[in-house]
Chain A
Amino acid sequence: MTDSTSTTRQQGAVYDLGYQPFEGERTGRSGARKTVYFDGIRRVLGLRRKAKRKVMPWALLLVAIIPPIVAVGIAFFIPAGASESIDLAGQNSAFFTLAGTIAMLFTALAAPELLIPDRKDGVLSMLASRPLTTADYLGSRFASLATVIGAFMIVPQLVLFFGQAGTHPEGLFSGMVHATHTLPKIAAAAAVYTIAFGPLGFVIASLSKRKSVATAGYLAVMIALTAFAEAVVRGSNIAGGRWVALLAPINTADAANVWIFGESNPDSLLAAANIHPAIGIAALIVSGAALSMFALHRYRRLA
């Protein structure tokens, strides 16, 4: 270092930068919605929260993903045609039904987590001063829930998809091309489960002050609806009673899932009620829209 450099070099100095105004571009309403959406995903997965908040969502995700991994493992090691071998191509709807049950348990935990703390801690009053409408807030939160429910449904299916491709006799790439037709079906079935489970979870969470009460209430309602529909459809001769089958979201979603994959289940509640699964899907969409409107109305009253 030269002398001239050393003489011009400053000694350590502390600068008081004071208040720095923000002069960049503001993303407004769309940015606000995106922020609420990503916060919702982090919240339901327990990310950037205390360790105890991570246990249940990740445990459920593991439970959803382990069975298809085991099935793919068996398919890899036991050659096709052997008595213990598994045909992965026929497993989609079966694993969807399993993942659907887990997704329902997840919804029971996640919907209260998404809505109740914001009300309980008063965060809604902060959000009310942001460039967001009530519909933006609830829509973003629902999108968070739908994304994670979708992940619950789709990740095990992707394991099956790559398992099918990997065990295909003509190799991985050919196998992927061969199995591509299942991808839109996977997306459609995941959407059906999301519509069947999500809006009811939001309505119950919007009515409860405590997360545990909302979780228990949601599971109780789901089970009660199934039991009631089963009793009316299979155990009574009430005129027009067969339409009560549409009140059971779990059964309706399961039947729709089987139908989407081109299979049939004559033992399902919809089959017993002689209702086509497409009508079941339409009923889920209508009831989902009605429940969403109720949640929106409830939140407008809270503003």
Chain B
Amino acid sequence: MVETSITTSGLGHAYGSVVALHSLDLAVPSGRTGLVGANGAGKTTLIKILLGILAPTTGTATVLGMDSKRETIDIRSVVGYMPEGPCLPLEQTAADFLVYAAGTAGLPKRAARQRASDVLTLVGLHEERFRYLGDFSTGMKQRAKLAQAIVHDPELVFLDEPTSGLDPSGREEMLDLITRLGSYGIDVVVSSHVLRDIERTCDWVVMLDKGTLLHEGPIGGSRSDGTVHLELISDPKPVESALLQGGATVTMQGRLLEVTVEHGDVFELVRDAVVHTGSSIRTLDSSSGSLEEMFLHHGATQ
């Protein structure tokens, strides 16, 4: 596996007179990468260029060390793609479709059957493998879409809005699956406009806005700003006092507290304050704000 899974240099694309990507320079490392941006930011265009579906108007891109324009077929043999829109033949069973998907990725027939069975188990559809895809619920369809993207054991998989249309529990399961892909040695690029999903699953982020690069970097680094948001069930006053005594800066709105520390671990300080006062927590959230704030910050400075 290469250290850098994706690189782009001056990459641009225009649909006629509409410029979708402006001179993008990226160096995405192996691992799980989030591609974030509002609708129309250029996320899907970027993925399509990397897959060789669209040709760049300017610049170059490499995927796993291969040129996206000249080595398209080689790239497609070792990457997977879960499109945002529908991609399932409704009149086929899940098992037949997965065997077909594996075959179209170049797996021999016997291996395709075995992989289809394994991957359907992995995404939790083994019991449903003989049902027609047209009879699947939205959550099951999303899992089947993920299954077709990984059935050929790709080195890198692009997931375009994988949690789109899912209910909260389905979303959690999908995010768990995505996190597990990284542990199987598959590099993942998750495109989403839901920042919380990216924070939950990825360790690198690429932020796009109107086709331009806002920011690229590790997510872990972005969230170590020492700020958490805390919502209490019990009276927040004692906790506020304990936190202030511990040297934190606290902003309180009703039962919501924003806690910031200059030095030390903010989580340990919150834990000690809650235990010391015997209070009850409804939510403790460090991540919802940080990536979002980062996105807004970078957007404002452009």
* Chain A interfacial positions (CB closer than 8 Å to B): 18-22, 24-29, 31-32, 34-36, 39, 48-50, 53, 117-118, 121-123, 125-133, 303
Q: Which residues of A contact B101 (CB under 8 A)?
A: 126
CB A134 to nearest CB in B, in angstroms, measures 10
Contacts of A21 in B (CB 8 A): 153, 184-185
A27 to B89, CA, bound (A): 23
Contact B86 A121 (CB under 8 A): yes
Given known pairs A122-B85, A123-B87, A131-B73, the reply for A27 and B106 (CB within 8 Å) is yes
Residue-wise, chain B 24-48 has the 8 Å CB interface mask toward A (1 for contact) of: 0000000000000000000000000
* CB contact under 8 A between A35 and B104, given known A48-B96, A125-B85, A128-B51: yes
Chain B contacts with A in 53-94, Cβ cutoff 8 A: 53-54, 73-74, 76-77, 79-81, 83, 85-93
Q: Which residues does chain B contribute within 8 Å of A24, judged by CB atoms?
A: 107-108, 111
By beta carbon, the residue of chain A nearest B54 is A303
A-B contact list, 19 entries, CB within 8 Å:
A19-B122, A27-B106, A27-B108, A28-B106, A31-B106, A39-B100, A48-B92, A53-B91, A117-B89, A117-B90, A118-B89, A121-B87, A129-B79, A129-B81, A130-B105, A130-B106, A131-B106, A132-B104, A133-B73
B152 near A: Cβ within 8 Å? Answer: yes
A125–B44 Cα distance when bound, in Å, is: 12
What is the bound-complex CA distance between A36 and B106, given in angstroms? 11
- Which residue of chain A has its CB nearest to the CB of B150? A19
Cα–Cα distance between A303 and B111 once the two chains are bound (Å): 29
B118 to chain A, nearest CB (A): 6
Considering the chains assembled together, what is the distance between the CA atoms of A24 and B110 in angstroms?
11
Among A49, A118, A130, max chain B CB count under 10 A is at A130
Query: Contacts A31-B107, A49-B92, A117-B89 given: A122-B122 contact, CB under 8 Å?
Result: no
| Docked pose: A132 CA to B93 CA in angstroms | 23
Known: A19-B184, A20-B118, A28-B73. A130 touches B104 (CB 8 A): yes
Q: How far is the CA of A251 from the CA of B190 in the complex (A)?
A: 56
Q: Is the CB of B107 within 8 A of A27?
A: yes
Bin the interface of chain B by size.
35 or more
Which residues from A are CB-within-8-Å of B53? Answer: 128-129, 303
Do B92 and A32 touch (CB < 8 A)? no
Known: A29-B73, A125-B85, A129-B81. 10 other contacts (CB 8 A): A31-B107, A32-B103, A48-B92, A49-B92, A117-B91, A122-B83, A128-B81, A129-B53, A129-B79, A130-B105
- Contacting residues, chain A, for B260 (C-beta < 8 A): none
User: In the complex, which residue of chain B has the Cβ closest to the Cβ of A26?
Assistant: B106
Please, how many angstroms separate the alpha-carbon atoms of A90 and B271 in the complex? 96
Q: 8 Å CB contacts to A: which residues of B108-160?
A: 108, 111-112, 115, 118, 122, 132, 148-149, 152-153, 158
Q: Is A26 a contact of B77 with CB atoms below 8 Å?
A: yes
Cβ contact within 8 Å between B153 and A131? no
Q: Give chain B nearest CB distance to A171 CB in angstroms.
A: 42
Contact B111–A121 (Cβ < 8 Å): no
**CA A85 – CA B172 in complex, angstroms?**
76
B133 to A, closest residue via Cβ? A121
The residues of A that contact B90 with a CB separation of less than 8 Å are 117, 121
- Tell me if A22 and B111 are in contact (CB < 8 A): yes
Within 8 Å by CB of A125, from B83, B93, B103, B180, lies: B83
CA of A127 to CA of B101, assembled, Å? 8
**By the criterion CB–CB under 8 Å, are A32 and B104 in contact?**
yes
Task: Return B134 CB to nearest CB of chain A, in Å.
Answer: 9
* 10 nearest A-B pairs in the assembled complex, by CB-CB distance: A35-B103, A129-B81, A22-B153, A122-B86, A19-B184, A126-B87, A125-B83, A26-B106, A130-B104, A131-B76
Chain A residues near B153 (CB-CB < 8 A): 21-22
CB of A127 within 8 A of CB of B108, answer no
Report the Cα distance A31→B122, complex, angstroms: 25
Q: Which residue of A lies closest to B77 (CB)?
A: A131
Q: Are A121 and B89 in contact (CB under 8 A)?
A: yes
- Chain B contacts of A49 at CB under 8 A? 91-92
Q: Please state if A130 and B185 are interface contacts (CB–CB under 8 Å).
A: no
Contacts of A123 in B (CB 8 A): 87-89
Residue among B85, B92, B158, B180 with most chain A CB within 10 A: B92
Q: Identify the closest chain A residue to B185 (Cβ).
A: A21
In Å, the complex CA distance between A22 and B149 comes to 14
In Å, the complex CA distance between A39 and B89 comes to: 12
Q: Whose C-beta in chain A lies nearest to the C-beta of B47?
A: A129
Contacts of B54 in A (CB 8 A): 303
Q: Which residue of A lies closest to B118 (CB)?
A: A20
Chain B residues, CB < 8 A from A34: 103
